[in-house]
Amino acid sequence: MTRNRSKFWRRLQQALPGFALLTVAPTTQAATASLPVGHCINMGNHLEAPNEGDWGRKIADDDFKIIAKAGFDTIRLPVRWSAHADKIAPYTIDPAFLARTKHVVGLARAAGLNVILNDHNFEDLFKDPGANQARLAGIWKQIGAAFADQDNAHLWFEIENEPHDKLTNANLIETLSPALAAIRETNPDRPVVIGGEFWSGINSLATLALPSDANLIPTFHYYDPFAFTHQGATWADPVPPLGRTFGSEADRATLAADVEKVRAYIARTSKTPFMGEFGAHSTVPLAQRVLYQATVRAAFDAAGIASCAWAYTNTFPLYDSAQRKWLPGMRAAMGLAEPEGAGTEVLKALPLAAKLALAPVATVSAQVKQPTAELQVLEDALPGTLINDPTLLDWPVFGPDARSKPIKGSAAPGGGALQIRVPKKGATLYEIGANAPITAAIKPGQRITVAFYARTVNAQTDDGRGVIGVRFQQNTAPYPGFGDTRLTIGSDWQLYEVTALSDRAIGAGEAIVGFQLSGAKQVIEIGQAIVVEGAASIIAKGGATAVGTPVMLPQLEGKGTLINDPAGTGWQFYGTGLGHDSVAAKGMPGDNATRLTVPAAGANPFDAGANVPISEAIAEGDIMIVAVLARTIKAETPDGLGRITVRVQQNAAPYPGFGQNTILIGPNWKLVQIKTQAKMDIAKGQAAVTLQMAGAKQTIEIGRVYVLTGVAP
């Protein structure tokens, strides 16, 4: 990493795909293996500073034992050799600096770590490659001789970090070749790493061509989106402002496209690169850094690309040297185990896509188990108890003429999905489907929750949306089950969740989540599924919706204290055939809403609906307001108005409650406020607002629900 990246870098990186500086012949050969770096971390802002200690603390002798104990296999050691070497031939390296570097490498090797030793921040080389290539070669001649006795399997060279400015792919090999020749005099077979132009950004691979040398390894660095990873970085020009978050649909699409660029390079060259740097600046909130690190690492893992985090402790840190502990969640983000209890809150706060990245797809074709430690990291990040293996997608697919195939790669959240083709609509929803195994036994009264990503490739339905029925059941005739829910699935990857209370006992290894698909002729892709016991929601933070700091609607300002999270995702949906989906609702808070579709009026309004969690305790006598923002899409009622029965209740049988009101909702967005007084005490985390929807066959969109207490009488 170079500290003074500029506007020039970003403009040229975007422009790079349009240039054709070198032509690389296509190949059909099998790709060669990359460096076996395993879990890797950079020793950033140490020896590549003008002098060690200028950019943070110096390397300590016990650092490498700490790194190895955490589970890392390799360190990348950036070194600014040019600041410690003569400018005239033979370009003698300061003996004390060379000895210091050898000492550091020795410490790393003694701890059992591999080492990537590079030349970093040779600024004169970037400004005038031709005038400095001999000096680069002279420096590497000395480095090669100094480390020639090291095992080739554990020490690797990288000629120059992040070529840029006047050092481009057009003159890169010409400039580096004398240095490579100097290395080969004493290290004929040692792996040597070469990165391309424009700071070795991912687009540099498009025109990176390497000499014919079986021991040359390509590399690239990844800091996209730059506005996120470098927000607040004072050396950037201009400094990206604080506040940019990561994880949007656009971010995931960009990441998937970037992974495909690496796949294209491998297919064209038969060389497998590794990602030598990636990470986010310390000004980014920790949870967002963990999210970024986990998502990016898992995306490239899925393509067989190893990665090296920037950096250990001085900059973009994973380790807090002052507190002498790893930042919570960072090891898990790198695919390593967290110590018991460490990082739990940070990991629980991650969105589900990032949690899936903690245990990426192991296989979609054979029952290969992930290491127990890897699934343990995922379980620590989840509410409740994990009762399936989300790394497996080789689910049984059944039904006449149904076809399925695995989809593996970063385009699917979590790194994989199962595509299922349904040739025609069935008489029932369950004629064609897929069964995701549940490993644990299920007991009566347990709450079972499944969360999964899905999208529709195409569907012959009125609105083009696919149809999935979800059911927890015993996988033997007569297939008894519970929690039947019908979902409509859009064309973009979205997260879906179903939760239900078990009404029966099912033995270990006999339970499944049934995905029922014959509701339409369609092609559906279902991503990894996570199933837990004992949590009302997987996707809500910590398994229960927490009070946040949302923007209050003006109509509710000053009326009381908010005791739920209106933007929370922990709603529980219930009722046979109830459809629920997240839809765009421009102008509403969050620009989205939840669409609830009731296929037929029930015998009672409470036969189908949604429960909205209330985080805080309720005391008898509290004056409260429940406010519902909603509109009706269609309703088979005499007046065309939708019906919602609203009630505050304890979220466990026999569901005692109070404040029941039925509200009428028209076609325009409307905020309905219900003022009520609590008739009982309800403990923290055990209350909910129930939206009872079965009063009519109807489709209603609900934007937000607000629950306030401490309201004036």
Q: Say if residue 229 is in the same domain as residue 150.
A: yes
Q: Using CB atoms within 10 A of its CB, is residue 242 exposed (0-12), middle (13-18) or buried (19+)? A: exposed
Residue 141 counted as domain residue: yes
Tokens standing for 190? Answer: 């040692």
What gap in Å lies between CA 175 and CA 163, rounded to an integer? 11
Percent of the chain with pLDDT over 70: 91
- If asked whether residues 559 and 665 sit together in one domain, one would say yes
Q: Are 220 and 327 spatial neighbours (Cβ–Cβ below 8 Å)? A: no
CA angle 514, 516, 518 (to 5 degrees): 160
Same domain membership, residue 211 and residue 76: yes
Q: Is the pLDDT of residue 27 over 80?
A: no
Q: Which of the four pLDDT bands, split at 50, 70 and 90, describes residue 20?
A: very low
What the block records as the tokens of 287 is 């949870």
Average of pLDDT values for 22-48?
Answer: 72
| Structural contact between residues 108 and 65, judged by C-beta atoms closer than 8 angstroms | no
Nearest to 342 by CA among 72, 70, 536: 70
Q: 163: closest CA among 193, 194, 209? A: 194
Please check whether residue 374 lies inside any domain of the structure: no
Task: Identify whether residues 428 and 343 lie together within a single domain.
Answer: no
- The total of structural domains in the chain comes to 3
pLDDT for 461-518, tens place per residue?
888 889 999 999 999 989 999 988 888 888 888 888 888 889 899 999 999 999 999 9
Pairing of strands 74-77, 40-42: parallel
Residue 22 has pLDDT above 50, yes or no: no
Cβ-count burial 631-652 (b if 16+ within 10 Å, e if not):
bbeebebeeeebbbbbbbbbbe
The residue written with tokens 């059909």 in the block is 28
Does residue 53 sit within a domain? yes
Instruction: Give the tens place of pLDDT for each residue, 271-322.
Output: 999 999 999 999 999 989 999 999 999 889 878 899 999 999 988 999 999 9
Three-class secondary structure of residue 489 per DSSP: strand
> According to the model, what pLDDT value does residue 426 have?
94
Q: Are residues 445 and 498 both part of a single domain?
A: yes
Distance (Å, rounded) from C-alpha 97 to C-alpha 86?
A: 12
Query: Phi and psi of 436, rounded to 5°?
Result: -95, 120
**Amino acid, res. 602:** G
Token pair listed for 649 = 């209740």
User: Is the pLDDT confidence value at 9 over 50?
Assistant: no
Query: Which residue's entry shows tokens 């400095």?
Result: 132
Tell me which residue range forms the domain holding 571.
545-709
Gap between the Cα atoms of 705 and 402, Å rounded: 41
CA distances from 557 to 79, 332, 626 (A): 57, 41, 14
> Same domain, yes or no, for 424 and 490?
yes
Dump pLDDT digits (tens) for 44-101. 999 999 999 999 999 999 999 999 999 999 999 999 999 999 999 999 999 999 999 9
d(CA 579, CA 496): 11
Which of residues 333, 350, 367 is at a domain's end?
350
Q: Please, which residues have CB within 8 angstroms of residue 175's CB and are 6 or more apart in sequence?
A: 125, 129, 130, 133, 136, 167
527, 542, 557 - which closes a domain: 542
First vs last C-alpha separation in the chain: 61
Per-residue model confidence (pLDDT) at position 407: 84
Q: Which tokens go with 218?
A: 């390509």
Q: What is the pLDDT of residue 25?
A: 30
Residues 6+ apart with CB under 8 A from 258: 202, 222, 224
What pairs with residue 258 in β-bridges? none
pLDDT band at 363 (very low <50, low <70, confident <90, very high): low
Percent of the chain with pLDDT over 90: 65
Q: How far apart are CA 59 and CA 67, in angstroms?
A: 12
Examine the domain organization and report whether 531 and 428 are in the same domain. Answer: yes
- Average pLDDT score over the chain: 87
Rounded to whole angstroms, what are the CA distances from 656 to 502, 643, 650?
A: 20, 22, 6
- Do residues 482 and 471 lie in contact, with contact meaning Cβ atoms separated by under 8 Å? yes
Do 40 and 116 belong together in one domain? Answer: yes
User: Tokens at residue 105, please?
Assistant: 């490498």
Confidence of residue 358 (pLDDT cuts 50, 70, 90): confident
Alpha carbon distances (Å) from 54 to 41, 108, 454, 516: 20, 22, 50, 61
- Residue 361: inside a domain, yes or no? no
In the predicted structure, residue 371 carries a pLDDT above the cut 70:
no
Give the helix/strand (H/E) hosting 457.
strand 447-459
How many angstroms separate the CA atoms of 109 and 155, rounded?
9
Among 611, 573, 608, CA closest to 696 = 608
CA nearest to 570, candidates 593, 595, 540, 533 = 540
CATH number, domain with residue 342: 3.20.20.80
**Within-domain flag for 85:** yes
Q: Please report whether residue 5 resides in a domain.
A: no
Radius of gyration of the chain (CA): 29
- pLDDT category at 568 given cuts 50, 70, 90 is low
122: β partners: none
Residue 127 has, within 13 A of its CA and on its CB side, a CA count of: 4
330 shares a domain with 465: no
Tokens of 497: 């969740």
Average pLDDT over residues 584-594: 75
- Residue-wise pLDDT for 514-550, tens only, equals 999 999 999 999 998 999 999 878 876 433 333 333 4
What are the φ/ψ torsions at residue 386 (nearest 5 degrees)?
-70, 130
Looking at the whole model, is its pTM more than 0.85? Answer: no
The strand pair at 447-459 and 385-386 is best described as: unpaired
Over 90: is that where the pLDDT of 344 sits? no
SS3 496: strand
Query: Which of 141-150, 322-331, 675-684 is predicted most confidently?
Result: 141-150
Helix extents (H) in 370-449:
372-381
Show the tokens assigned to 496: 């879906």
CATH code, domain with 568:
2.60.120.260
For residues 526 and 557, state if they share a domain.
no
Q: Say whether both 204 and 331 belong to one domain.
A: yes
93 domain-assigned: yes
Query: From edge to edge, which strands make up the β-sheet containing 687-692?
Result: 572-574, 609-614, 687-692, 642-650, 657-665
Q: Given 542, 572, 604, which residue is the final one in a domain?
A: 542
Q: Across-strand partners of 436?
A: 513
| Per-residue confidence (pLDDT) for residue 348, from 0 to 100 | 80
pLDDT band (50, 70, 90) for residue 30: low
The verdict on residue 377 lying in a domain is no
- Whether residues 518 and 564 share a domain: the answer is no
